[in-house]
């Protein structure tokens, strides 16, 4: 098969790869760009298996890439949906304290939200909470009116449509299996043939670390896959939840705790939990992958992480195996919910980067090598923030690859440089 040439090759047609490609078509329209994707459609993994929440920017450390890109990204996402007539809803959410110990943490969350410029935050007493969510029980709650819902698969499909119309190409069934350099050119071997590209952006999600390693770059990060399982609330029980009901999160852990999410199609989900998945694309019912499990077990950071969080891990596993335990966690917020209201739902796998010391990398994280940018950690709220992340990456390209820069906003300098 003849080699194909491109100026820029993006690996992965999830929401981050596609948002980056879309920004390239707007800012660098003369670049000949190809996106390669191993599956036969866009949004096949994290992007198509998430909660569909347009996060507000409440939770993230002030000044972090997550905080900045989420607040701006949520506004950009809603604008995009309006412009492209994609159904979305600004339904708002409540974060509910059900114990006295959670009250100071709820206050801190409000302060953080204010510092992050999340609009309209309001602390609610029990009666005010019941006006918004009549079946929800709690000592107090934080109302976040700007939180919304959308179907990110539809958003990703729209990004792909616009990329195509602007002359960008997405090649499916093109799993990247090799990456090397030939002078100033990157040689990218895929199942759909070999591409020679001046620049490469690695947006491979659950396999972003594997692609980084293919280039010979050593990072101390490894992706540890965490599966999130959902239950679906039966139609008869949907009236128990008007919009989004979340617990106060455990600050030691990057996940938000099982919550109720109304979807844009009107269904209501409960979840996701956070389970170690011994397979990167290990959805419910998929058996573990021995090679990938060994990769996790051989990584020193895994054992250090397990040492720090084993209690939380066991509790999550127990809740996964024992449905009444899962239901009990949800009943703290909605006591009328019964086990019979819930049926098995879907699942998604989060790509969470962990360092050699067992720390779960909290912020978005990028690594550069010569003519490549590796998107090494873009967990939630990256779907919300995708349009802003796309801009960040094109800013980095302009800076690192000496390309013209058209963006008026200030450039970010928080990314790791090798």
Ligand X SMILES: Cc1cc2nc3c(=O)[nH]c(=O)nc-3n(C[C@H](O)[C@H](O)[C@H](O)COP(=O)(O)OP(=O)(O)OC[C@H]3O[C@@H](n4cnc5c(N)ncnc54)[C@H](O)[C@@H]3O)c2cc1C
What residues line the site for ligand X (CB under 6 A)?
11-17, 36-39, 44-47, 49-53, 55, 175-176, 203-207, 211, 228, 272, 348-350, 378-384
> Closest distance between ligand X and the C-beta of residue 52, in Å?
6
Which of 261, 227, 226 has its CA nearest to residue 241? 261
Is residue 350 a contact partner of residue 360, using CB atoms and an 8 Å limit? no
* DSSP secondary structure, 281-318, as one string: T--TTPPP-HHHHHHHHH-HHHHHHHHHHHHHHHHHHH
Q: Rounded to whole angstroms, how far apart are CA atoms 78 and 161?
A: 18
Is residue 36 a contact partner of residue 171, using CB atoms and an 8 Å limit? yes
Of 103 and 187, CB closest to ligand X: 187
162-196 b/e (C-beta count within 10 Å ≥ 16 → b): bbeeeebebbbebbbeebeeeeebbbbbbebeebe
Under DSSP, the state recorded for 152 is H
Residue nearest to ligand X as judged by C-beta position: 14
Q: Rounded to whole angstroms, how far apart are CA atoms 282 and 225?
A: 8
Of 4 and 140, CB closest to ligand X: 4
How remote is the C-alpha of 238 from its chain's centroid?
26
Distance from the first to the final alpha carbon of the chain: 34
Which of 157, 167, 160, 182 has its CA nearest to residue 31? 167
> Closest distance between ligand X and the C-beta of residue 93, in Å?
11
Provide the 10 A C-beta neighbour count for residue 391: 23
Is residue 258 a contact partner of residue 270, using CB atoms and an 8 Å limit? yes
For the chain, what's the residue count? 418
How remote is the C-alpha of 235 from its chain's centroid?
28
Phi, psi dihedrals of residue 330, rounded to the nearest 5°: -75, -35
How remote is the C-alpha of 81 from its chain's centroid?
18
Element (H, E) at 154: helix 152-165
């Amino acid at each position: 098969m003849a080699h194909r040439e491109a100026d820029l090759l993006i690996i992965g047609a999830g929401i981050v790869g596609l948002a980056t490609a879309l920004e390239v078509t707007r800012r660098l329209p003369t670049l000949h760009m190809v996106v390669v994707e191993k599956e036969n459609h866009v949004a096949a993994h994290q992007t198509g298996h998430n909660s569909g929440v347009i996060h507000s920017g409440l939770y993230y450390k002030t000044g972090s890439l997550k905080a900045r890109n989420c607040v701006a990204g949520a506004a950009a996402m809603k604008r995009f949906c309006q412009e492209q007539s994609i159904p979305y809803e600004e339904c708002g959410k409540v974060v509910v304290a059900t114990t006295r110990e959670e009250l100071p943490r709820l206050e801190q969350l409000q302060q953080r939200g204010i510092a992050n410029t999340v609009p309209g935050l309001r602390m609610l007493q029990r009666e005010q909470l019941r006006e918004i969510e009549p079946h929800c029980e709690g000592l107090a709650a934080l109302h976040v009116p700007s939180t919304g819902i959308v179907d990110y698969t539809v958003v990703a499909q729209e990004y792909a449509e616009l990329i195509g119309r602007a002359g960008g190409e997405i090649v499916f069934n093109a799993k990247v299996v090799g990456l090397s350099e030939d002078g100033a050119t990157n040689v990218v071997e895929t199942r759909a043939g070999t591409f020679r590209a001046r620049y490469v952006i690695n947006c491979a999600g659950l396999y972003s670390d594997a692609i980084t390693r293919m280039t010979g770059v050593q990072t101390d990060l490894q992706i540890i896959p965490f599966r999130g399982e959902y239950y679906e609330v039966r139609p008869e029980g949907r009236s128990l939840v008007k919009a989004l009901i979340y617990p106060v999160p455990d600050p030691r852990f990057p996940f938000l705790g099982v919550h109720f999410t109304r979807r844009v199609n009107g269904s209501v989900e409960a979840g996701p939990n956070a389970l170690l998945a011994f397979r990167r694309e290990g959805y419910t019912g998929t058996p573990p992958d021995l090679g990938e499990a060994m990769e996790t077990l051989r990584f020193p950071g895994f054992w250090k992480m397990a040492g720090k969080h084993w209690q939380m891990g066991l509790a999550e596993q127990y809740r996964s195996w024992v449905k009444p335990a899962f239901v009990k966690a949800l009943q703290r917020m909605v006591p009328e919910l019964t086990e019979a209201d819930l049926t098995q739902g879907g699942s998604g796998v989060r790509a969470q980067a962990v360092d050699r010391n067992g720390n779960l990398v909290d912020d978005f994280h990028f690594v550069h090598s010569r003519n490549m940018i590796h998107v090494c950690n873009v967990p939630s709220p990256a779907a919300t923030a995708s349009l802003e992340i796309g801009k960040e990456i094109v800013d980095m390209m302009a800076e690192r690859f000496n390309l013209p820069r058209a963006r008026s906003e200030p450039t970010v300098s928080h990314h790791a440089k090798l």
